[in-house]
Copies of this chain bind each other. A is one copy, B any other.
Amino acid sequence: MLINIKSRIKDYSIIIKKNSLRELSNLFSLDYKKVLIVTDDNIPLEYIEDVKSNFDYVNVLVLPHGENTKSIENYLKIQETLLNNNFSRKDLVIALGGGVIGDLVGFACSTYKRGIEYINIPTSSLSMIDSSIGGKTAINYKHYKNMIGSFYPAKGVLIDFSLLKSLPKRQLNNGLVEALKAGYIFDKTIIDEFKKEELDIESIIIKSIMVKKHFVENDEKEESIRKILNYGHTIGHALESIYGFSDKLYHGEAVGIGMMLINDDPLEVASFLKKLDIHFDEEIDAEQIIEFIKNDKKMHDEKIDLIKVDKKNGGYIDESISIEELKKIIVKEAHYVRYLR
Contact = CB atoms under 8 A, between A and B. Distances in A.
Interface of A: 8, 33, 72, 76, 79-80, 83, 86, 88-90, 107, 110-115, 136-138, 141-142, 144, 146-151, 221, 294-295, 297, 299-301
Contacts of A299: 86, 88
Contacts of A297: 88-89, 113-114
A216 to B, nearest CB: 13
Contacts of A113: 146-149, 297
Contact of A301 (B33, B114, B136): B33
Nearest to A151: B114
Number of copies of this kind of chain in the complex: 2
Contacts of A80: 142
B72 A150 contact: no
A299 B113 CA distance: 11
Nearest to A152: B150
B294 A111 contact: no
Contact of A150 (B8, B33, B114): B114
A294 B150 contact: no
4 A-B pairs with the lowest CB-CB distances in the bound complex, closest first: A113-B297, A88-B300, A114-B149, A111-B148
A151 B138 CA distance: 16
B79 A147 contact: yes
A300 B72 contact: no
Contact of A147 (B83, B107, B141): B83
Contacts of A146: 113-114
Contacts of A147: 79, 83, 112-113
Contacts of A137: 114
Contact of A86 (B112, B138, B151, B294): B294
18 contacts: A72-B76, A79-B141, A83-B142, A83-B147, A88-B297, A88-B300, A89-B297, A110-B150, A111-B111, A112-B147, A112-B148, A113-B146, A113-B147, A113-B149, A114-B136, A114-B137, A114-B146, A115-B221
Contacts of A72: 72, 76
A300 to B, nearest CB: 5
Given A86-B295, A147-B79, A150-B150, A114 B141 contact: no
A5 B245 CA distance: 44
Most buried by B among A83, A114, A294: A114
A107 B115 CA distance: 13
Given A111-B111, A111-B149, A141 B295 contact: no
B79 A148 contact: yes
A147 to B, nearest CB: 6
Contacts of A295: 83, 86
A151 B83 contact: no
A72 B150 CA distance: 16
A90 B296 CA distance: 13
A90 B151 contact: no
Contacts of A301: 33
A234 to B, nearest CB: 14
A136 B110 CA distance: 13
Contacts of A88: 297, 299-300
A297 B297 CA distance: 33
A294 to B, nearest CB: 6
